[in-house]
Chains A and B, each alone.
Chain A
Amino acid sequence: MKAKFLVPLFLFLLLVLFLGFGLGLNPREVPSPLIDKPAPAFSLARLDDPARELGLADMKGQVFLLNVWASWCVACRQEHPVLVALAKQNAVPILGLNYKEVRGDGGIDMRKIPADQEVPMAIARAKQWLTEHGDPYDVTVLDIEGRVGIDFGVYGVPETFLIDKKGVIRYKHIGPVTPAALRDTILPKVAALNAEA
């Protein structure tokens, strides 16, 4: 008879357990289906020399980070010092993917920008931002229209992909890279991937 009174309490505790677990999850972190799949091929203009393009093939044979950023992205500003510090350690090359530098900026009315002005504007803005905040990237490429971003399943900047020597995406970090994420997850993975043949 006494046990019967405990049933609702037990159910309630079970519910609390589930809800507590749910609170700990981050709904913004959508697992990427691209993990352990070959990175989508791309070939984009380099920021330092827009006449030349850089593609995934140029990065083959090395483990590297692909960091998606834009000057209008506030959280990128937050993670940037972490990346600059990482670049100084020379632990892993970082490829910058500048994502929709001009058209992604909510403050810009694209109807007022002549079509041929978007690329020069993007280059100027990206360069200025890197001069101001430091440039941790070995190379930055320009994804003006955000096409490559869609191929990579980017849905919020910043995002960081860890790509192995064979060009396979092995890990994705969503949101700003923190020193803790770098120390506990990303750098150990880099070391493990560098040890792979």
Chain B
Amino acid sequence: MRRLLLALGLSLFALAAAAGTAVPAVADPVLEARVLKLSEVLRCLVCQNQSIAESNADLAQDLRAQVREQLGAGKSEDQVIDYMVARYGDFVLYEPPVRLSTVLLWAGPATLAVVGVGVLLMRLRRRNREAAPGLDDAQRARARALLDGKDDSGAQA
């Protein structure tokens, strides 16, 4: 047991060490944090399901360098985003802007959920109203017998 714990601890330590090497040595950690934050909302156009923060494609590296350079030169996050959108279009934004053309995208899931729950409620209510008519006395007695385990007419399971 102790050996297992030791192994576990060591492997965790190794993980931490590996993670440590991934952090680049930068002069300005504040700037780097801003670069990373902004890079996470910008889509890489080469590997389209990754942000430029995640992607190692050539273009993603170039765009990260652009982000770093422009933020470093004192531009705001919005200005950098405008710069990217002007060149690559809305597609470069991981979160598409709310526009007339994207209303369906934004409102679709919520609308579907509301409609779905509504239909379900309506059906459930109708089913309750149309519930099967009550049992007559003989059936009720038999049901009670079954539930009490005193039934002797049915086949034994």
Chain A residues with a Cβ under 8 A of chain B: 27-28, 30-34, 100, 104, 106, 146, 150-153, 155-156
Could you say which residues of chain A place their CB within 8 Å of the CB of B88? 30, 32-33, 153, 155
Q: Which of the residues A32, A146, A156 comes within 8 Å of B89, measured between beta carbons?
A: A32
B63: chain A residues at CB < 8 Å are 150
B: interface residue count bin? 10 to 19
What is the interface of chain B mostly: helix, strand, loop, or mixed? Answer: helix
Chain A positions within 8 Å of B48 at CB level? 27-28
B64-105, CB under 8 A of A: which get 1 and which 0? 001000000000000000000111111100000000000000
Complex interface: chain B residues within 8 A of A106 (CB): 58
Q: Is B143 an interface residue (CB 8 A)?
A: no
Which residue in A27, A30, A32, A150 is a CB contact (below 8 Å) of B62? A150
A151–B87 CB distance below 8 A: yes
| A30 vs B59: C-alpha distance when bound (angstroms) | 15
Q: Contacts A104-B58, A150-B62, A155-B59: A34 and B87 contacting too (C-beta < 8 A)?
A: yes
Interface of chain B residues 40 through 56 with chain A (CB within 8 A): 45-46, 48
Q: CB-nearest residue of chain A relative to B49? A: A27
CA–CA, A20 to B59, complex, Å?
A: 31
In contact, A150 and B89 (Cβ under 8 angstroms): no
Q: In the assembly, what is the distance between CA of A106 and CA of B56, in Å?
A: 12
CB < 8 Å neighbour of B66 from A33, A150, A156: A150
- The interface centre, meaning the residue of B45, B62, B66 with most chain A CB atoms within 10 A of its CB, is B62
Question: Across the interface, which residues of B come within 8 angstroms of A27, CB to CB?
Answer: 48
Q: Which residues of A contact B86 (CB under 8 A)?
A: 33-34
**Can you identify 20 A-B contacts, CB atoms within 8 angstroms?**
A30-B45, A30-B88, A30-B89, A33-B85, A33-B86, A33-B88, A33-B89, A33-B90, A34-B87, A104-B58, A146-B62, A150-B62, A150-B66, A150-B87, A152-B87, A153-B87, A155-B45, A155-B59, A155-B88, A156-B46
